[in-house]
Chains A and B, each alone.
Chain A
């Protein structure tokens, strides 16, 4: 600084620093009526600095000057975009990158260049030009990678260009700020990819952002944990159980850090505690879904065409797994792992508590079931029915679903039946209390699930009965009463579709079409299964059954679009509509042999 001298330079630095404080700190306190007051003052200061710089032009090293100018252009660019003057902001930012272009890979420029690119990305997204934003951000990403490969030393932070030697930052601080700027690049890219519906890529960038937040300690435990838990749900929908478990384990570990932070104020304390308990329960719910999905996916793999466990398939998969284990390291994903040594160990320990491979027999399924059930208890501690009806019932529904899928692995029919009874016992009282006027949707779900469970239990009792030489009256009574209960709930479900004048809709809406049709179909079958020694009663039941089958056939004739939703059921219904009248005829003939 030949012209201004040392004291002049100190004044410049001071101005610059004031501008930054105004912009970052003071502006948050600006009144609503003048939201940009501090920003405008900061802008004026920056302009002054710019003037002082050009006055000092001669005698200074051109490169140094260019970089300092670039810093100012950057600050001005951000200032203008902050105050909604996008075009002016763009000009400044463009000038900044132009000045830096030749030096962008050098340690004193790289961070500034990346941040300018980040801001250009934001700017273009404000103009709804996501593609343009993407190019800036991706080039920032590439520059970071190139720099780290070729140099890798902690680069200068942009603010340092206006600092005296003794104020300059430590390498550690430099590196921290640089990495943060790059984390922001990734975070913006995550958003860009989401907007462009590049879902997989967006997820990957979210994942990396989370990982980097952890590495550079830029996170709030609760928020981080919730993000990780939510991300686990993304992996669930992709059937990536190992990744899903990793996210959840990390969420649980990081969350446990949150509870230890003492709250500042007493009256906020209770609210915070309440909030923490809710978050904990939310994470538990993510775990429940994890266990449930793992079990359900395993079931899909193992079941035969009538939904029973296929032993051939089972031994095949077991052999396959054995082989993979022998080949060792069964693909521990190279993917992104969270945490450095300490955290990583805790996360691994957490992961060990539940498997991430498909369970192939009852024993393995039971272990996952039990983990899921524990999380059900944990989630229910917070989401009690009093105050959290919807959440509570959803958790109980998950619990029921856990039993349902566990039952699939159970070979003993009696025990299987008992598992379904457990489902009834947890769902029925909730259903009875629930007011369908406010909870129509859940109410329907419960009706249907109760109906289905009774239906399943009846099927099991029939199967048990078939092994006996002769059906005893107790079994018959049991089968009939289960069938009646199933019919009752299916009918309740169908009734819920009626309008206030109790009329069943002429045409069913798409979202209830299949369930309604399945309900009709099952009722038809149930009437066919009712056991009675009274032939007249039997004839009546057949008649009812026929009516329900006929409904399906007629409906599909009238609305051919419906066929797609219930192909199998329709086929069987048609068959029954053909068969039943003959059977009834025969029965009638037996009843009145003289006619």
Chain B
């Protein structure tokens, strides 16, 4: 359990797109995969070595990405843990391919299908197996919701007519999106159908309202509820599986991924608003004193609060493009991934009992 709660970080290198490979040749690559968990970035003057839980090179198959990344999480989900899988990376680094599969196919049996459809299959496979084992004593209920966070506003992808939704918390059910449509799922195929329908909504939204898909985060959530009857005692267990497609990392200039640059004020009055961020940063490094910070969570981190250093199994797939033109973005993605490894469940317990030992 000592290492169990840390976030697992996987890096996947996509093959260079056809054009660039021909143009730049071998020299056009800015990184090389050294082993199944180290990667070397050809930075100057010194190359940089990064170590992760797993590094998938260009030849790695979808199946093997799934088995090393998601299998474990889906299994824990069956055991009552919440699980979350994130895809992170710049636009064009292969996030959607990794998570969904080839973009032009809704075909759930496609040999190149991604982590999400494979997770569905595996989840329902496990459920069937469990049902057979337990007989009539055990039953399952799966539900899903699919939302999009754009500009700190929440939209329901399963109900394109809905306006902005709110995040709320329930003392028994945790964080939830108030009013989000929940669809009951009976099979993996059904789950995939809901997913693709929602995904299409996401793209539609990108044209009709001038939203660009890579600027939004999409969160697909499956709730697995199991009910077991044991001598009149009913045991209900429920867990969540979140599959998250993050906005292109190059768009996230407002989060902690950015470097040292100053926020500009421009001409308008509103301009000095980032002062709040500076102050928040000052308070954040305070020395364990009781304090309250007014500006806090973004919608995404609030929704996934549990997954980011909580009572959950979480992994991040950092996608990178190996082209030397993407050097800057790749470096920042790898740096982000490196930092993500340090996120842990901080179980701070208020405990000040000096003097009580007498």
Alpha-carbon distance A190/B295, docked complex (angstroms): 18
Alpha-carbon distance A493/B350, docked complex (angstroms): 12
Stretch with Cβ within 8 A of A (4 or more), from B9-17, B123-131, B193-201, B255-263:
B255-263
Set B79, B278, B282, B291: member contacting A289, Cβ < 8 A: B291
Asked if A337 is at the interface (CB within 8 A of a chain B CB), the reply is no
A515 touches B349 (CB 8 A): yes
Interface flags for A425-449 (1: CB within 8 Å of B; 0: not) read 0000010011111111100110011
Set B1, B267, B291, B305: member contacting A233, Cβ < 8 A: B291
CB-CB contacts below 8 Å: B273-330 with A = 273-276, 278-283, 285-287, 289-295, 305-306, 310-311
Q: How many A-B residue pairs have CB under 8 A?
A: 216
Residues of A within 8 A of B351 (CB): 448, 452, 514-515, 518
A194 touches B281 (CB 8 A): yes
CB-CB contacts below 8 Å: A490-538 with B = 493, 499-500, 505, 507, 509, 511-512, 514-515, 518, 521-522
Q: How far is the CB of B266 from chain A (nearest CB, A)?
A: 8
Q: How far is the CB of A201 from chain B (nearest CB, A)?
A: 10
Q: Which residue of B lies closest to A501 (CB)?
A: B79
Asked if A18 is at the interface (CB within 8 A of a chain B CB), the reply is no
Asked if A223 is at the interface (CB within 8 A of a chain B CB), the reply is yes
Q: How far is the CB of B152 from chain A (nearest CB, A)?
A: 12
Set A227, A283, A430, A507: member contacting B275, Cβ < 8 A: A227
Q: How far is the CB of B226 from chain A (nearest CB, A)?
A: 13
A397 touches B292 (CB 8 A): no
B285 touches A199 (CB 8 A): yes
Residues of A within 8 A of B293 (CB): 230, 233
Stretch with Cβ within 8 A of A (4 or more), from B32-40, B111-119, B165-173:
B165-173
Q: Which residue of B lies closest to A512 (CB)?
A: B347
Asked if A195 is at the interface (CB within 8 A of a chain B CB), the reply is yes
Asked if B227 is at the interface (CB within 8 A of a chain A CB), the reply is no
Residues of B within 8 A of A305 (CB): 355
Residues of A within 8 A of B358 (CB): 306
Interface-central residue, B4, B278, B289, B357, by most chain A CB under 10 Å: B278
Asked if A192 is at the interface (CB within 8 A of a chain B CB), the reply is yes
Asked if B354 is at the interface (CB within 8 A of a chain A CB), the reply is yes
B346 touches A187 (CB 8 A): no
| A444-B347 contact in complex given A188-B262, A194-B282, C-beta closer than 8 Å | yes
Alpha-carbon distance A32/B207, docked complex (angstroms): 12
Asked if B264 is at the interface (CB within 8 A of a chain A CB), the reply is yes
CB-CB contacts below 8 Å: A291-310 with B = 292-293, 296, 303, 305-308
Asked if A249 is at the interface (CB within 8 A of a chain B CB), the reply is no
Alpha-carbon distance A569/B354, docked complex (angstroms): 10
Q: Number of B residues whose C-beta is below 8 Å from A? A: 70
Stretch with Cβ within 8 A of B (4 or more), from A8-16, A36-44, A123-131:
A123-131
Asked if A387 is at the interface (CB within 8 A of a chain B CB), the reply is yes
B279 touches A289 (CB 8 A): no
Residues of B within 8 A of A (CB): 1-2, 4-5, 79-82, 168-175, 178, 210, 212, 238-239, 259-265, 267, 269-270, 272-276, 278-283, 285-287, 289-295, 305-306, 310-311, 344-351, 353-358
Q: What would 19 more interface pairs be, CB under 8 Å, given A437-B174, A499-B1?
A: A122-B264, A126-B262, A219-B272, A220-B269, A223-B273, A230-B283, A237-B287, A286-B292, A305-B355, A386-B171, A387-B170, A388-B168, A437-B239, A440-B311, A441-B348, A456-B356, A514-B351, A515-B351, A518-B353
Residues of A within 8 A of B (CB): 24, 32, 121-122, 125-126, 128, 130, 133, 183-184, 187-188, 190-192, 194-195, 199, 202-203, 206, 209-210, 213, 218-220, 223, 226-227, 229-231, 233-234, 236-237, 279, 282-283, 285-286, 288-289, 292-293, 296, 303, 305-308, 385-390, 397-398, 401, 430, 433-441, 444-445, 448-449, 452, 455-456, 459, 493, 499-500, 505, 507, 509, 511-512, 514-515, 518, 521-522, 568-569, 572
29 pairs, A vs B, C-beta closer than 8 Å: A32-B210, A122-B264, A126-B261, A130-B260, A187-B265, A190-B275, A191-B274, A199-B282, A203-B282, A220-B269, A223-B276, A227-B279, A230-B283, A231-B279, A231-B282, A387-B178, A398-B290, A430-B171, A435-B173, A436-B311, A437-B80, A437-B174, A437-B239, A438-B175, A439-B174, A441-B347, A448-B350, A452-B353, A500-B80
